[in-house]
Structure 1
Amino acid sequence: MENLKDKVVYITGGTHGIGFGVAKVLLSKGMRVAISGRRQEDAEEAAKKITSDENRVLGIASDVTDFENEKTAIAKIVEKFGQLDVVLANAGVGHFAPIYELKNEDWKQMIDTNLTGAFHTLKASFEALKKSEGYYITLASLAGTNFFENGAGYNASKFGVVGFTQAAMLDLRSHNIKVSTIMPGSVASQFNNHVPSSSDDWKIQPEDIGELVYDLLKMHPRTLPSKIEVRPTRPDKK
């Protein structure tokens, strides 16, 4: 995208953490931003924290596990801004336990949110992105290529997101829609009820992911970094 000014980005799970950090960065680059969360009050409060200019931000309630929710969210974005240029499927949850202790409902929530949610978001936004010749990006994880103990459910969901996104890239490039997946390592965010502190300074910061998304959007249209791994430069040594 040669000029990002007034382009519209939709970020799922954008009320805190990585999604919120990306929203702040892209707004600072001149884009208009829509963020979603499960509760309308949370989405509206987060939107106000990003900017007081209501013409440049929209907070929406949407549960990505519900396809109709995502269809409604996309319709609201297009109604307000007149277009949709970029989608970041960022909503995610994690539960970690040995497979023999992992609860059925926790497995289902991870698959429904992390994987099926990414499908719902893309399916709902396809026509708008086709019209704008836009960009669809998933927020996966290094857990989508590196399995680890107690991570069977989370690994399954993120391995799925990586595979889904790469296949979608092949489906959508003929429609002039670019598709990428970003696979971060340790990020200083509120994921899994973590409270970031100075002890997280060594980690990737949410705004760093925002700068990475910006770099992807500024890439020449002929070039597509389809899968990006990103990790802390110097891991914490305990």
Structure 2
Amino acid sequence: MELKGKIAYITGGSKGIGYGVAQKLLQAGMKVAISGRNLESVRAAAKQLGSKENVLAIASDVTKLEDEHTAISQIIAEWGSLDVVLANAGVGHFAPIDEISDEHWHQMINTNLNGVFHTLKASVSALKQSKGYYITLASLAGTNFFANGAGYNASKFGVVGFTQAAMLDLRQYDIKVSTIMPGSVATHFNGNEPEAKDAWKIQPEDIGDLVLDLLRMNPRTLPSKIEVRPTRPDKK
């Protein structure tokens, strides 16, 4: 894919992995729309990212299909097409299965799993037109279960399965579909405040480089499921 001038949409793009990917795509000459539930935060992130011509801030709650339809409509109205979508928005709550709240369970399923469906459902027509790329941000928790992670595991196992099945459905339209499954990333996820102690972790911009690698892959080749982890885990 020739990246200069191509248009991307990133959910959960105001910080963390979404923000890091947006930075890399902009550096490659792309135009990037980022969304989040808090428009003020998204606008602040967009201002930090670059010029108004190349960055679009959108308010959208991925748990609501109508929000994602509105977001895609805004992008098409602004730039005329859509080439790349990164379904990145996610939340995590961790507790034993007998203690996790109903609210936290449904928040993870609705955001992490239903959200990627809503984003794809809203953008698939545009991606058919552009023969574009749909990427979900899953997790190594989508293949490795762990104690206190039942809700998060359920959502991320679902994202991996959903993405792989969608890949089979959509490749007939020349839409490429991949899921990225990171291990520990230095983000604000689960209340973390990134600092020097997180230097051993994957950095958000590293995921941005990985997305660029996918976009630059020869069209005949599709890495459909990518596991990525820190080279050397922190020694406890």
Same fold (TM over 0.5): yes
1:133 Cα deviation from its structure 2 partner: 0.2
Segments of 4+ in structure 1 off by > 3 A? none
Aligned to 1:19: 18
Query: Cα deviation per residue 1:105-151 (whole Å; 9 max; x = unaligned)?
Result: 00000000000000000000000000000000000000000000000
Q: Does 1:187 align with 2:195?
A: no
1:42 Cα deviation from its structure 2 partner: 1.1
State the alpha-carbon separation in 1 of the partners of residues 56 and 190 from structure 2: 25
State the alpha-carbon separation in 2 of the partners of residues 49 and 157 from structure 1: 31
Give the 5 Å matches for 1:218-233: 218-233=216-231
Aligned to 1:164: 162
1:72 Cα deviation from its structure 2 partner: 0.1
SS of alignment partner, residue 134 of structure 2: strand
Q: Does 1:4 align with 2:3?
A: yes
State the alpha-carbon separation in 2 of the partners of residues 65 and 139 from structure 1: 16
AA matched with 1:152: A
Aligned to 1:214: 212
Aligned to 2:49: 50
Give the 5 Å matches for 1:17-166: 17-51=16-50, 53-166=51-164
State the alpha-carbon separation in 2 of the partners of residues 193 and 37 from structure 1: 17
1:56 Cα deviation from its structure 2 partner: 0.3
SS of alignment partner, residue 8 of structure 2: strand
SS of alignment partner, residue 146 of structure 1: coil
Query: Cα deviation per residue 1:80-112 (whole Å; 9 max; x = unaligned)?
Result: 111100000000000000000000000000000
SS of alignment partner, residue 136 of structure 2: strand
Q: Percent of counterpart pairs with the same letter?
A: 72
AA matched with 2:23: K
State the alpha-carbon separation in 1 of the partners of residues 191 and 21 from structure 2: 19
Aligned to 1:205: 203
Structure 1: which 5+ residue stretches go unaligned? none
State the alpha-carbon separation in 1 of the partners of residues 75 and 125 from structure 2: 13
1:40 Cα deviation from its structure 2 partner: 1.2
State the alpha-carbon separation in 2 of the partners of residues 154 and 56 from structure 1: 34
Task: Give the alignment's Cα RMSD to 1 decimal.
Answer: 0.4
TM-score, scaled relative to structure 1? 0.99
State the alpha-carbon separation in 1 of the partners of residues 205 and 38 from structure 2: 23
